[in-house]
Structures are given as structure tokens and as C-alpha cells.
Amino acid sequence: MHAWLVALIGLSFFAIGLPEALLGASWPAMGGGLHAQLASVSFIAIVICAASVASALFARRIVRRLGMGNTVVCSVVVAAIGCAGFAFADGLSWLLVFAVPYGAAAGLLTASLNAYIAPRYAARHIDWLHATTAAGATGGHAILGAVIALIVTLVPFPGSWKHAAGPILLGLGCAPINPAVVHLVPRIYGVANTATVIGLQTAAIYGGTLITPSAFGIIAHYHSTSFLPWYLAIFTASTIMAGLATRRQLHVDGTDGGSQGAGR
């Protein structure tokens, strides 16, 4: 394993995370300057997620045609174009236009990098590489303004820092899931199928990001936001049951049992 290659991959994951949190944090001021409604950011997020799903599904074909290095470079360039478009856009319509290249680049870069590292690196390396994505998102907030980001984060929790413990624990609990699943893919499905499966996995992640907040928005509109703990509990139970079913079917025991699943 070459240290420079790991550093380059880590930098790529950092670049993926860097702009992720900026749009939502900056939209209250940005939307006001563009005379757009607060809810308009949801349409931008939908376009980004849809473009990410589409590019993730075609990631294997693109990598085969362009090669991994060219795919990463092109994805970064296209993402930079999308971010630059956000900076110079003078209306919501242009934001929607530039959301397409940004989302497509993010989905392609995520799927292709995960497909590359899954069969080549140990679980601890994958964990650290994925951690750089969160570091990038944190860095993006810091660039935008740590104080503003903190205020925006804690506005729904006035009066006590203890009220922020729930979202923080949710984030910590969700963080290990994606790198763990990426690490298991080549063991369960085989190295030859890793790129295809991770492409589908990445598409499912962005698809869930697209659907689940909108679904809860509908629930909250007709009922109440107090249903949120039960809504999260449904997905928590579903995740646990899916993990147990996979473990039982493929006999993945968390150490060397995954090799049994790879041969199936």
C-alpha cells in the first residue's frame, strides 16, 4: 500500500464532504438574497440526489471506459464547475441547473472510490478514509463560519446543550455503517461484482436521502413533528433486521466469516 495513494484517496473523500453541508447552512441568507423561498432548497437537494443516483448506477461503465484516475479527475472538475455555478448563480433556476453536474460528480466519485478501496484495503483503512468525508463536511462549515453553523445547529434546541445529545448520538451511530458495509461487499459478493454492488449501494443511499426526509415532511404536515422518534425507530429496527438477516444467510461473523459469503 503506497502512502501517497492513500493520501490522495483520503483527499478525494475530503473533497466529497467539503461542500455537503454548505448549501443547507447558507440557504437562509442565500435564499433571501435570491428572493427564493426557504423550501426551495428542497428542490435543489432533490436534483442533487437524483443526479447522484443516476451517476452511481453508471459508475462501473464509466470507470471501465475512462479508467479510475481519469474518472476521479473528471468528477472533481465537474463538481468544481457545479460549486462555481452555485457561487455565481443569480436565481433559483440556475441553482437547479448547476445542481445536476454537482450531484452527478458526487455520486460518481463516491461509487468509484468505494469500489476501488473495498477489495484492496483493510477495514481500518476504509474507516479512516470515510472519516475524511465527515472531516470535509466539518471543514466546509468552518469555512462558512463556525459560529453561524453552531447557531443554526442549536436553534431547535434552546435552553440546554443536553437537547443536542440526540442528534449527536444519531450521527455517531450512523457513521460506521457505510464503511462497514463497503468493507463487506467484496467478501459477500466477490471482487468481480464489487463495483456493481457498490454502485447500487451508493444509488440506494442517495435515493434514501431523497425520499425519507420528504416522506417525514408529509407526515409532519398532516400530523406532527413529534412522530420523528417513531419514524427513526422504524428505520433503526429495519436496519437491525436487515443486518441480522444478512449475517444469518451469509454466515458473516465479523472476523473471517465473510470469506464464506464471498465464495457463494
Cβ(107)–Cβ(59) under 8 Å? yes
CA pair distance 135, 18, nearest whole angstrom? 8
**What's the mean pLDDT in 49-67?**
88
Question: Which residues, 6 or more positions from 120, have their beta carbon under 8 angstroms from its beta carbon?
Answer: 1
* Helical pair 59-66 and 40-57, crossing angle rounded to 10 deg: 60
Confidence bin at 136 (pLDDT 50/70/90): confident
Cβ(104)–Cβ(78) under 8 Å? yes
**What's the mean pLDDT in 144-151?**
60
Would you say how long the chain is, in residues? 264
pLDDT tens digits along 230-243:
888 888 888 888 87
Under CATH, what is the fold of the domain 3-262? Growth Hormone; Chain: A; (1.20.1250)
Q: Which of 108, 132, 123, 122 is nearest to 13 (CA)?
A: 132
Domain borders along the chain are 3-262
pLDDT tens digits along 8-25:
777 777 877 777 767 777
